[in-house]
Amino acid sequence: MPKEYNSSLQELIYKVKNSVTCSCLYALEDNFNSVGLTLQTTTKNRMVLCKIKNNRPYCKEFMDDYIFIGTADEDKELSKRAIECVIEFIMNAASDKPAKLKDKQRNWQDGISMYGKIIVVNEDVEAVAGDLLMD
């Protein structure tokens, strides 16, 4: 494990432990990128913390590849249990290969996104069905 990765991971865990709200987690986007993770918005405007694979958000298996961490337009206070789950996910999903990937789709950015909103299968069945029916 490279020394800078260990340092980045420890710094991220420290910051997550001291996060009070979802907004605090959203502000850590660069820190997440430093350990191969990213924050992304789903088609239902929920935020997920997920792996980066081949320079793209990777959300195949819940808890292995991604977890939900709130909604983009809500700022809830995080419980200790929520913080523990985020830290556990980070420890299991982090990579020693930093990756630069930001979720460009935020409410204040008029729906612009590098990859469009990501589709999480178990949450976005209607969105997938709608796309198929429209084509």
Q: What is the pLDDT of residues 77-123, one digit of tens each?
A: 899 999 999 999 999 999 888 887 766 544 433 444 445 566 676 66
Please name the residues in contact with 112: beta carbons below 8 A apart, sequence gap of 6 or more. Answer: 104, 105
pLDDT at 113: 47
State the residue range of the domain holding 126: 3-134
Mean pLDDT for the stretch of residues 12-40: 94
Q: What is the pLDDT of residue 74?
A: 73
Q: CB neighbours (10 Å) of residue 35?
A: 23
Domain count, the chain: 1
